Structure 1
């Protein structure tokens, strides 16, 4: 059985679409609502390392205190950025999906299809109606 974890925000359409595509592959993931249960600093550092992205790449600007905290300052260290994410979990971009084939920030949501070990079982369209998977389970884009 494939073990998948998603760091999820149910208020985010991209996160909801990603979760739905995971479930469309007949897998029920472990869902961590990261605003209620934020990852520890150690876990967040591990996730970033496993994604192979800079810390700054995981910062969310829209709908967060990014600007008021001055996080756009390129001189800020990774530790300072991590401190901000620990103090304000809303700054952590989502959804982050963890599975045996890798860890990925799934923005856009269909990026999850690159690391899902099992095929989509049925057609899938995002909440906005955009078709992503056809009736045979094939990715459309």
Structure 2
């Protein structure tokens, strides 16, 4: 039985990590479903599922270096998971990214190479991240 080639990325084209993750997916010659989550945020149920399936806490799935995080004082430990989810839905920029979903699992792909663990096909050639770091060699093998 072969793994499904369905891959979905919750993407922000303004984010280098998200662009690198998308490029790593495409380096397998898979064209994923791309959801620009700032334009089309996930539903409450989908967001909760993404976080749980990735094995994260709600707090782990929040971006901390954006204005809404500081403005809402989200560093306080007394916010409940439900309240944090509400903030993420109200301000999708708070959702850390990119989440990637495949038949092999769900990951928050930070750093972008995390996506390699759940891709159903191997890399098809060399890959160099935007910052110049080589991640995949010319034989499609991960560079350590």
Instruction: Tell me the TM-score normalised to structure 2 length.
Output: 0.96
Moved more, 96-105 or 48-57: 48-57
Q: Which sections of structure 1, spanning at least 5 residues, go unmatched?
A: none
Alpha-carbon deviation of 1:63? 2.6
- The CA distance in 2 between the partners of 1:103 and 1:32, in whole Å, is 15
Per the alignment, residue 53 of structure 1 pairs with: 56
Structure 1 segments, 4+ long, off by >3 Å, are none
Per the alignment, residue 43 of structure 2 pairs with: 40
- The CA distance in 2 between the partners of 1:111 and 1:50, in whole Å, is 15
Count of matched residue positions in the alignment of Structure 1 and Structure 2? 141
Q: Which sections of structure 2, spanning at least 5 residues, go unmatched?
A: none
2:71 aligns to what SS in structure 1?
coil
Q: 1:93 aligns with which of 86, 91, 96?
A: 96
The C-alpha deviation readout for 1:67-121, integer Å capped at 9, x for no partner, is 1101111111000100100100000000000000000000000111111111100
1:97 aligns to what SS in structure 2?
strand
